[in-house]
Structure 1
Amino acid sequence: MLMMDDIIRDGHPTLRKVAAEVSMPPSEEDREILKSLLEYVQNSQDPELSSKYKLRPGIGLAAPQINVSKRMIAVHLLDDKGNLISYALYNPKIVSHSVEKAYLVSGEGCLSVDENFPGFVERFARITVKGISLEGEEVKLRLKGLPAICFQHEIDHLNGIMFYDHINKQDPFKPIEGAIAIER
């Protein structure tokens, strides 16, 4: 089981690398890593387990965050209608996105970043993601709202990009023209 000590922190060189594609079919080691990413986000949202093991709650985790520079992510959250969006994916990629932008009013956080980076993180309002599930199936997801933002955040990790790279340095809370403000 992954613990907070397994998650590398901001400044670690792996977080700024472009992660390697995972060969298909995945090795047993890659399967275990991907399973552990999903297990962490699920456990971290369970009040009893997160308290017992001192897990910081998270809705997504990427392999580079546990110092594995491979293209794997896990996401576990509810959309705005209360539907569970729970995926562990190999080689996820954004295949299309809206012109329209969106951002979280509360800003974004990251399990690899201990300090607070206030500001609006500009994202696409809607995206389509393709990837390979733990079971080896090709998955195509159309996402909007918080799930779309979460997937963009995790896929950024695979490209060595941190969420705060998207914040306007001169004016962190400058309104984003025509963007959808998402309450979390």
Structure 2
Amino acid sequence: MTIKPLIILPDPLLRQVSKPVETIDEDVKRLADDMLETMYDAPGIGLAAIQIGVPRRLLVIDVAREGEEKQPQVFINPEIVTSSDERSVYEEGCLSIPDYYAEVERPAKVKVKFLDRDGKQQEVDADGLLATCLQHEMDHLNGVLFIDHISRLKRDMVVKKFTKAAKTKAI
């Protein structure tokens, strides 16, 4: 397994819509393993393939609490089947927008269908942190960032800050 470099805002790749995974082969399984390794190293609780520069509809999540045994989950070509009218607010962060957090309101519960690591069709009813994390990572697959769910003023300030930091780094 290899830890991959993370794509950081304002990289335009983060706005790209990811393509479906056509075949679940050893390369896809290796990608999922690398993503888990990268996510744990960061550390984070979710990672979409686009965040390591691979525009494929694949994400990994582990919402186990600190001290609990790891519970890695792989979601290939995930789709939200239903979402609740009930809403919940979580303070979200993103490995592609380091050290920035904001409260985001999303549906409290979602039902997601996806293929697992072995290519089997699965469905999960998620609530709480898992529901939020799934929606956050699935947004990445569509080129959407969590800052798109906050006020335009706050979003513009974050983008400006990261754009400036990227320019400084490039010098």
- TM (norm. structure 1) is 0.75
Q: Which residue does 2:158 correspond to in 1?
A: none
Deviations 1:152-181 (A, max 9, x none): 000000000000110134689xxxxxxxxx
Question: Distance in 1 between the 2:121 and 2:127 partners?
Answer: 20
CA distance in structure 2 between the partners assigned to 1:40 and 1:6 by the alignment: 8
Please state whether the residue corresponding to 2:75 is helix, strand or coil. Answer: strand
Structure 2 residue 70 is matched with structure 1 residue 72:
no
- Report SS of the residue matched to 2:79: strand
User: Relative to structure 1, is the Cα distance of residues 95 and 85 closer, same or farther in structure 2, using a 3 angstrom cutoff?
Assistant: farther
- Aligned residue runs from structure 1 range 35-184, under 5 A: 35-41=33-39, 44=40, 55-78=41-64, 86-104=72-90, 107-117=91-101, 119-169=102-152
User: Residue 159 of structure 2 aligns with which residue?
Assistant: none
| 2:31 corresponding residue in structure 1 | 33
Tell me the distance in 2 between the aligned counterparts of 1:58 and 1:170: 26
Which residue of 1 is the match for residue 8 of structure 2? 9
Map Cα deviations across residues 71-124 of structure 1 (whole Å, 9 max, x no partner). Answer: 000001138xx89753111101111100111111xx21111112424x321111
CA contact (8 A) 1:19 1:64 kept: yes
Distance 2:34 2:110 in 1: 25
Asked whether the 8 Å contact 1:35–1:88 carries over to 2, the reply is no
Structure 1 unaligned blocks of 5 or more: 45-54, 173-184
* Aligned residues of 1:35 and 1:134 also touching (Cα < 8 A): no
CA distance in 2, matches of 1:71, 1:121: 23
Moved over 4 A (4+): 82-85
Inter-partner Cα distance in structure 1 for 2:83 and 2:69: 21
Q: What is the Cα deviation at residue 39 of structure 1?
A: 3.1
- TM-score under structure 2 length normalisation: 0.80
Q: Provide the rounded CA distance (Å) in 2 between the counterparts of 1:32 and 1:11.
A: 27
* 2:94–2:100 contact (8 Å) kept in structure 1: no
- Separation in 1 of the partners of 2:153 and 2:8? 25
